[in-house]
Structure 1
Amino acid sequence: MTDLLRVDGIEAAYGKVTALKDVSIAIRPGEIVAILGANGAGKTTLLNAISGVLPVTAGEIRFDGAPINGRKPWQTSRLGISHVPEGREIFPDMTVEANLNIVDSNGGGPAFTVPDILEMFPRLQERISQLAGGLSGGEQQMLAIGRGLMARPRLILFDEPSLGLSPVLTKFVLSSIAGLRAKGIATLLVEQNMRAALRIADRAYVLRVGRIVRAGTAAEIANSPDIQEAYLGV
């Protein structure tokens, strides 16, 4: 199967500080790929580089076979890449419905309507006319995911979707992300709960100080003794 996203040897920096060095990953259509690593490993930087938030200084990013280096976030969104960032970044002074409707739905992936999002996250139905800033953390995360899907992505980037959520809500949110596979949407997942991420992922990459140090199937990574010791607390 042809790769939907291919990242080849990219580098990225914040000023003089190199955050990514010779990073290469690939994602196929409908695949869930987890990016694992300690805080400061470069996980968020990688997502920002792919979506155009942060320019790369070397290497190439290709989406659906075409180079996308230098594209702005709104341009990558129109190509079919949605980014649900850490912190959610919803519009707190707009209603839930307005947050969903403000999205430019030109990504070319499966079409989602507001009723589709409310069916996926029934709790948002009860809050549809409320200001988004008044939602709980879990409800805000549901809204952020729903807004990302409204862009009709073929690839969606999730940065710490369970951050600050209870175990019950974490399970629900990650289950919702896993359900996107059936719709053919590819997922690149950065998740603090590494065990949970590996349970829903097909493959995983491990980042350490800006470099990929391990790649394999989710089962291979989960069962690797050094990964278990370093990241999974075994």
Structure 2
Amino acid sequence: MLRVDAIRAAYGKVVALNGVSIEVNEGEVVAILGANGAGKTTLLNAISGVVPITHGDISLDGKPVHGLKPWRLARLGLIHVPEGREVFPAMTVEENLRVVDAIGDGPEFTVDSVLDMFPRLRERFDQAAGNLSGGEQQMLAIGRGLMARPRLVLFDEPSLGLSPLISKFVLSTIAALRSKGVASLLVEQNMRAALKVADRAYVLRVGRVVKHGPASDMAVAQDMREAYLGA
């Protein structure tokens, strides 16, 4: 579905991505792992059209999409749920969900189906999003993204700042999107948890892919355990 081929991106003279290549297939969960500053968020921003690339190609369903505006990518079924949630704080939960047009060509999600996925939002339906807890805001950000009918969702640190229980629930919900025909590209600070829900994973280090493979293999790889997961 998604192919990123040897892309390069920079902030001025600072190179954030240097020859990064990844793939996401239909219905997969693919994790992007690495230390802070490795380029994970920049990679998602480059794919979603927020950060321009200076070299390489990005294609969706075999068609080049680099250089397209984010709203045009959304129409192709690619949605970005950003770090920090970015909900509209003065609007209610209902308004945050209904403000999104179903512009993608992926599976249909309705307000009711989102509330079934996140029952907590049903209880907060008429409340301002700014009054929700961090976990509730993350649920709302995911639900709002799904309302656009995506085929592929980019998730940037969805468990950041959440309790272990809510983090586990959010990640399991992302994994369950496979059964609905939605693929996910997941940047996640909790590497151990990410490898449990992902099919495959890539490790970035200083803007380059240094390791990739099945998530189950990477979870037990000695170099991964020593560098990221604890011996």
Does the pair score TM above 0.5? yes
Per the alignment, residue 96 of structure 2 pairs with: 99
Q: Select the residue among 52, 69, 81 that pairs with 1:72.
A: 69
Task: Tell me the distance in 2 between the aligned counterparts of 1:88 and 1:18.
Answer: 26
Task: Tell me the distance in 2 between the aligned counterparts of 1:69 and 1:187.
Answer: 19
1:49 matches 2:57: no
Q: CA RMSD in A?
A: 0.6
Q: Per-residue CA shift, 1:159-200, capped at 9, x if unaligned?
A: 000001000001110110010010111100000110100001
Question: Aligned-pair distance for 1:223?
Answer: 1.3
3-state SS of paired residue (1:108): coil
Extract unaligned runs of 5+ from structure 1: none
3-state SS of paired residue (1:104): coil
Q: Hey, which bits of structure 1, 4+ residues long, moved more than 6 A?
A: none
Task: Tell me the distance in 2 between the aligned counterparts of 1:184 and 1:114.
Answer: 18
Task: Tell me the distance in 2 between the aligned counterparts of 1:160 and 1:228.
Answer: 20
Q: Per-residue CA shift, 1:91-112, capped at 9, x if unaligned?
A: 0011111101111211100000
3-state SS of paired residue (2:95): helix
Extract unaligned runs of 5+ from structure 2: none
Task: Tell me the distance in 2 between the aligned counterparts of 1:196 and 1:221.
Answer: 12
Per the alignment, residue 188 of structure 1 pairs with: 185
Per the alignment, residue 143 of structure 1 pairs with: 140
Task: Tell me the distance in 2 between the aligned counterparts of 1:215 and 1:199.
Answer: 15
Per the alignment, residue 175 of structure 2 pairs with: 178
Q: Select the residue among 64, 78, 81 that pairs with 2:78.
A: 81
Letter in 2 for 1:197: A
3-state SS of paired residue (2:20): strand
Letter in 1 for 2:168: K
Pairs within 5 Å for 1:146-225 = 146-225=143-222
Task: Tell me the distance in 2 between the aligned counterparts of 1:121 and 1:69.
Answer: 33
Letter in 2 for 1:203: R
1:35 matches 2:58: no
Q: Per-residue CA shift, 1:132-179, capped at 9, x if unaligned?
A: 000000000000000010010000000000001000001110110010
Task: Tell me the distance in 1 between the aligned counterparts of 2:198 and 2:72.
Answer: 27
Q: Select the residue among 218, 223, 227 that pairs with 1:226.
A: 223
Per the alignment, residue 16 of structure 2 pairs with: 19
Letter in 2 for 1:162: S
Task: Tell me the distance in 2 between the aligned counterparts of 1:123 and 1:215.
Answer: 36
Task: Tell me the distance in 1 between the aligned counterparts of 2:10 and 2:99.
Answer: 32
Letter in 2 for 1:132: A
3-state SS of paired residue (1:145): helix
Per the alignment, residue 127 of structure 1 pairs with: 124
Q: Per-residue CA shift, 1:18-43, capped at 9, x if unaligned?
A: 00000000010000000000000000
Task: Tell me the distance in 2 between the aligned counterparts of 1:163 and 1:102.
Answer: 25
3-state SS of paired residue (2:36): coil
TM-score for both structures, normalised by structure 2? 0.99
